[in-house]
Structure 1
Amino acid sequence: MRIFIIFLFSTFLFADVIDTYRYYGIQKTIKEIEKKLQSEKYWLKKLKNIDVKYGYFENPTFILFCNKITRTLQVNLYKKGKLKNLTTFNNVIVGKLGDKQKEGDLKTPIGNYTLINKIKPSNTFYGPLAFVTSYPNLFDKLNKKNGYGIWIHGKPLDGERGDLSKGCIVLNNDEIKHLDTLINYKKTVLEITQNPIYARKDDIAKILALIYKWRDAWRKSDLKKYLAFYSQQTFKRSNGMDFKQFKEYKKRVFDSKKGQKIDIYFRNIQITPYQNVKNLPIYKVEMYEEYLSPTYVFKGNKEIYLQKFGNQFKIIVEK
């Protein structure tokens, strides 16, 4: 408890919060902090001097931004709210224009991915090294896209190749080696686009406030409020459930949790504008979740996608 109080004072240096603790104690203070976390105004103030062009990141993150039209790959470092361009590779080779839909269509996918491995290809056609991407991601799979083996790699070690990719992002061999010196692939996100979508600060603030409102309904097993955060028309869960099936499932879960003390914590939140050919206002949210209840404990990564309908965001995909 002592460490928690020190954290509160060092993180939320607001006179009203400190006075609340002085006059009413820790429980009242926690309630006041929860109100702030659910407030767009609080998050807009917190984001005031933070660059969110490519998204919001709570930890240092490398951001690769590939534009298929301009054939560029920007390498950026996001750290402590500041964005720094480390280099930009020009004239990169990419696949056909349009979004990848199926194996063999020779298109480089449009979307947001992570780098899941760094390898030395056994086939010299792919150059000295390659970064393996997470395509197809959850959003791709639920939208019935397929294919695999989308890499960032070099050029043949023993011969020339044409100026067309089968779907990968291809750099010169000196460039792929240079990229390896610039990034930690385990802390890198990749955004691939044709018509760039950049994050809006008011959208990020709205999403952060929504996350904590959603968490509050979840902790209290308030089914009606909880389900209000989901799109009834377009929601899909990672296991294939639609909204109706998900509602029935959550009703059973929430009924079994009535009266239980539930704690939910989110860390390492990442919010990125999801690149898509229709330029829909979609954001991808990834974070580390701790769910603690007397009957169930979960500690692991959480992934959700939100789309803006009018002035409100709704969850359209969840894992």
Structure 2
Amino acid sequence: MVKKLTAVFFIVIFLFISASASTLDDVIKALKKGEVEKAYYLQKNLSQEEKKLLEILLLLHQDKLTDAELLSGNYIPCNVLYLPDGIDALVVNKVIEKLYVIKEKSGVPVIVAEFDCVTGKKPGDKLKEGDQRTPEGIYIPLYWRGHLPKIYGPGAFVLNYPNLIDRKILRRGGHGIWIHGMDTPSRPPHSTNGCIVLENKDLKRLRKFITPKETPVIIVDELCKEPFKNFVSERNSLVDFVYKWKAAWENSPEDLQTYFSFYSKNFVTDKYSFNEWKKYKKRVTAGKKWIKIKISNLAITRDGRLLSFGRLYLISFDMKYRSNNYNWQGHKLLYVTKEGEKWKILGEESF
């Protein structure tokens, strides 16, 4: 039955592409090459019928009908909304002390590995130095440290705790939250001072899934799951948001106010408040004749907490910025929340 469905499906795809404009074929080719930004702009020219067919194709490409059948009506992990090829995400459930490795397959987050881990002695979210709690939020492993004291086992991944939102909005203290090994065969549950600890053999296995400065680590007290339809709607909305933000920044020498409209009035950086940042941007943009931005390795993840200002999302990506008087290349983090019906950038940092 599956083979019959597959055959019929690809006959329909072939006939549809042959009969329609080449734009749908161009989108598919761009996706196969991993050219997400190109595909994003090309799909805007598709008819509604073509867009619907493209959604079906994305679900069923590479004959993965079983994935589509599995997804229909089922709940899927939703802390990870979008991942680039070759980059995985980690989700740590600190209550049951499980670490999940999530990979995107056919546009869907899938758990591909699971490890036992040990987290902080005290329950709840980390608030201050020495409270022996594991922080909740979204973090990035900055680098691997080897040749450490034996208590850390073969080494450690250093997380960027406290991140910008921790420092400037939540005012959380503490430092030195790592993912590391141990100097004993095992440890009692909930026995760390805040770090995430794995058995040495598991840490060695985990290393292959982590790319420093790229792999998101989402620490939660419960794994998020929701219907596939809701997941797709939220993911597509955020992908659309980030590329519209990019276009607005590129057009900011002509229209700075549209660019500013993507930011919350509570926006912060390490240096500026929102009003200070706007003054800075007006000053530097005055000398711009043109701006070109290239985004790659886009990842979108969702915080497990419902904070006082709402749900928090992290959009991270590699970025190349060029202009007539300044060039920059690095990794950018956008902390995004929803204000009413609109996405807004609450914080922005780079490394």
Same fold (TM over 0.5): yes
- CA contact under 8 A between 1:125 and 1:155: conserved in structure 2? yes
* Separation of aligned partners in 2, 1:95 and 1:65: 19
- CA contact under 8 A between 1:306 and 1:317: conserved in structure 2? yes
Q: CA RMSD in A?
A: 3.6
Matched, 1:179 2:206: yes
* Separation of aligned partners in 1, 2:166 and 2:224: 18
Matched, 1:270 2:299: yes
Counterpart for residue 90 of structure 1: 116
Matched, 1:219 2:250: yes
Change (3 A) 1:263 1:52: farther
Counterpart for residue 338 of structure 2: 308
5+ long unaligned stretches in structure 1: 1-11, 19-29
Worse overlay, 151-160 or 190-199: 151-160
- CA contact under 8 A between 1:60 and 1:80: conserved in structure 2? no
* Separation of aligned partners in 2, 1:169 and 1:274: 17
For 1:221-300, list aligned pairs within 5 A.
221=252, 222-232=255-265, 234-239=266-271, 241-257=272-288, 260-276=289-305, 278=307, 280-300=310-330
1:318 shift after superposition: 1.3
Change (3 A) 1:203 1:42: farther
Change (3 A) 1:267 1:128: closer
Matched, 1:152 2:179: yes
Matched, 1:78 2:104: yes
Q: How many pairs does the alignment contain? A: 291
Flag as ranges the 4+ runs of structure 1 deviating above 6 A: 40-44, 158-162
1:265 shift after superposition: 1.7
* Separation of aligned partners in 1, 2:129 and 2:112: 33
Deviation track 1:24-60 (CA, whole Å, cap 9, x = no partner) reads xxxxxx9x947829xx996995695398731211232
Change (3 A) 1:68 1:167: same
For 1:20-31, list aligned pairs within 5 A.
none
Query: TM-score scaled by structure 1?
Result: 0.77
- CA contact under 8 A between 1:307 and 1:313: conserved in structure 2? yes
Query: TM-score scaled by structure 2?
Result: 0.71
- State the secondary structure of the residue aligned to 1:101: coil
- CA contact under 8 A between 1:71 and 1:90: conserved in structure 2? yes
1:247 shift after superposition: 1.9
- State the secondary structure of the residue aligned to 1:231: strand
Q: 2:94 aligns with which of 68, 92, 98?
A: 68
1:237 shift after superposition: 1.9
- State the secondary structure of the residue aligned to 1:55: strand
Q: 1:168 aligns with which of 191, 195, 198?
A: 195
- State the secondary structure of the residue aligned to 2:318: strand
The one-letter code sitting in structure 1 at the alignment partner of 2:273 is D
- CA contact under 8 A between 1:119 and 1:132: conserved in structure 2? yes
The one-letter code sitting in structure 2 at the alignment partner of 1:68 is K
* Separation of aligned partners in 1, 2:53 and 2:312: 19
- CA contact under 8 A between 2:316 and 2:333: conserved in structure 1? yes
